[in-house]
């Protein structure tokens, strides 16, 4: 057991309160002990031993003497209640106490951050320790950060280390394991790892991320087509100010423009760039690419979302230019659902060259009803004729079902009376 501090007998209670800076110290400790009296007697031996150890710490603190041991702290993570008590003691500790805790737990940090209860303690510890202690912790965790950031528990304390980093040595220790192609790609595609990558991009200055940036750019197109990767890709572009990196990323995007535009997640990157680079030379080139491929893009579900966003930022003259392109290609005769939607936004009258029954079927499937939707489909000129000619069939079918249901109810009622 290592003694953290011990007050002299000459010091009174007021001096003790000043040293600890804890308001109503006796009440806090009393509440912590009473919390453990509510733990069920049926708990296992490990939980009971942890409970006794922590109560012992609380009682020692109340006697103005506070002692810690690595095993006591590690045992406290076996239950949520004991972890909460240790967290409270940690947050009320002096700097000297925190320094000693960091030394005591050396060699156990990977185990702690991956523990379902210990990760909360680690997160608090990483927040309140000073730069020197964080470097000591990072030296131990640096090789495994890129792997453990994918873990549901470890990702939170790791992100805290990144957030509170403030010097070149800390940045280098954090990036050490992320400067590897396979490890960085694995983290970028993971839901937890993706948030860690975003934290690195936002928090660590760009001048320290040279190798990291080089690796990330190499797979930015692939990552942009993934569910979790698209978020970090957008973050990377928004936080990058280096013109050389922006040019390289833009060239990759131009070469893979249609592949991204027609992808479930890649289309969000094009929409993001359209908004971010609206007034820049890169933004004008993206607009030109959209106009060149507009006829194809409006026929695809995902690229049509880009076209919708594009139309909203166009002037009247630019809209007229797009309308002329579509009319020259006789696109007003299309029966493509996505094309029709875009052309309606541009104000083009649609001529549907399909058989009426197909129009009727598509309409019913989209709206889940066959009645009272006439006013919502002005783009279907032939639909009104079909409706007028065939509505009596719908009514006849509806009335027959209604009569049959009424007869069944009447029959069931008669049988019940008998």
pTM of model > 0.75: no
**Which has the minimum average pLDDT: 291-300, 303-312, 331-340?**
331-340
**Can you list the pairs that 251-254 forms with residues at least 24 positions away whose Cβ atoms lie under 8 Å?**
252/217, 252/220, 252/221, 253/221, 254/285, 254/289
**Higher-confidence residue: 376 or 144?**
144
Look at 408 and 11; give whichever has higher pLDDT. 408
Q: Above 90 in pLDDT, residue 330?
A: no
Tokens of 24: 């109503």
Per-residue pLDDT, averaged over 396-404, amounts to 51
Report residue 382's pLDDT band, with 50, 70 and 90 as the boundaries: very low
272 in Cβ contact with 309 (< 8 Å): no
Q: Distance between CA 19 and CA 93 in Å, rounded?
A: 10
Q: Can you tell me whether residue 107 is helix, strand or coil?
A: coil
CB distance 195 to 151 below 8 Å? no
Q: How far apart are the C-alpha atoms of 401 and 406, rounded to whole Å?
A: 9
Mean pLDDT of 124-144: 94
Q: Round to whole Å and give the CA distance between 304 and 346.
A: 13
Alpha-helical regions (H) of 116-180: 118-128, 131-141, 145-148, 155-163, 168-175
pLDDT reading at 270 higher than 50: yes
410 vs 25: which has the higher pLDDT: 410
More confident residue, 16 or 245: 245
CB 88 within 8 A of CB 125: no
Considering only 230-244, 321-335, 383-397, which range has the smallest mean pLDDT?
383-397
Q: Which residues contact 147 (CB under 8 A, 6 or more apart)?
A: 177, 183
pLDDT of residue 68: 67
pLDDT at residue 393 tops 50: no
CA 49 to mean position of chain CA atoms = 39
Cα end-to-end span (Å), the chain? 88
Q: What residues pair up with 229 in beta bridges, in sequence order?
A: none
* Token pair in block for residue 157: 């304390």
pLDDT of 39: 42
The CA distances from residue 277 to 93, 207, 224, in Å, are 49, 23, 17
pLDDT of 395 strictly over 90: no
Question: What is the distance of C-alpha 131 from the center of its chain?
Answer: 29
> Minimum mean pLDDT among 42-46, 152-156, 239-243: which range?
42-46
> Mean pLDDT throughout 295-315?
91
Residues 6 or more apart whose CB falls under 8 angstroms from that of 372 comprise none
Number of C-beta neighbours around residue 340 at 10 A: 19
Predicted local confidence at residue 50, as pLDDT: 52
Q: How many residues does the chain have?
A: 418
């Amino acid at each position: 057991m290592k003694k953290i501090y011990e007050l002299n007998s000459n010091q009174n209670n007021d001096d003790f309160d000043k040293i600890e800076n804890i308001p109503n110290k006796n009440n806090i400790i009393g509440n912590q002990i009473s919390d453990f009296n509510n733990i069920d007697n049926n708990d296992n031996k490990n939980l009971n031993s942890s409970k006794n150890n922590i109560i012992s710490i609380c009682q020692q603190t109340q006697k103005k003497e506070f002692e810690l041991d690595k095993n006591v702290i590690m045992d406290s993570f076996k239950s949520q209640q004991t972890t909460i008590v240790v967290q409270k003691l940690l947050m009320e500790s002096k700097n000297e106490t925190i320094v000693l805790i960091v030394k005591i737990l050396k060699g156990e940090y990977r185990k702690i951050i991956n523990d379902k209860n210990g990760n909360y303690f680690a997160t608090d510890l990483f927040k309140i320790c000073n730069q020197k202690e964080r470097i000591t912790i990072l030296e131990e965790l640096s090789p495994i950060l890129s792997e453990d950031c994918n873990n549901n528990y470890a990702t939170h304390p790791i992100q805290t280390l990144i957030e509170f980093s403030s010097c070149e040595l800390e940045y280098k220790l954090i990036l050490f394991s992320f400067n590897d192609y396979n490890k960085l790609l694995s983290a970028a595609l993971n839901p937890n790892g993706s948030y860690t990558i975003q934290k690195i991009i936002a928090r660590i200055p760009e001048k320290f991320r040279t190798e990291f940036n080089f690796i990330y750019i190499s797979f930015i197109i692939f990552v942009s087509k993934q569910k979790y990767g698209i978020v970090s890709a957008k973050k990377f572009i928004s936080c990058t100010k280096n013109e050389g990196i922006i040019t390289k990323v833009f060239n990759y995007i131009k070469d893979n423009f249609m592949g991204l535009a027609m992808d479930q997640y890649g289309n969000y990157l094009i929409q993001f760039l359209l908004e971010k680079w609206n007034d820049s030379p890169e933004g004008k080139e993206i607009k030109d690419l959209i106009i060149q491929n507009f006829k194809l893009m409006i026929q695809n579900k995902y690229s049509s979302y880009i076209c919708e966003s594009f139309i909203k930022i166009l002037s009247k003259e630019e809209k007229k230019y797009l309308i002329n392109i579509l009319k020259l290609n006789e696109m007003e005769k299309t029966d493509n659902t996505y094309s029709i939607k875009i052309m309606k936004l541009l104000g083009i009258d649609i001529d549907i060259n399909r058989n009426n029954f197909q129009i009727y079927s598509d309409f019913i499937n989209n709206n889940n009803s066959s009645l009272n939707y006439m006013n919502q489909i002005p783009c279907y000129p032939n639909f009104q004729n079909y409706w007028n000619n065939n509505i009596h069939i719908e009514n006849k079918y509806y009335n027959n079902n209604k009569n049959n249901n009424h007869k069944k109810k009447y029959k069931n009622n008669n049988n019940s009376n008998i």
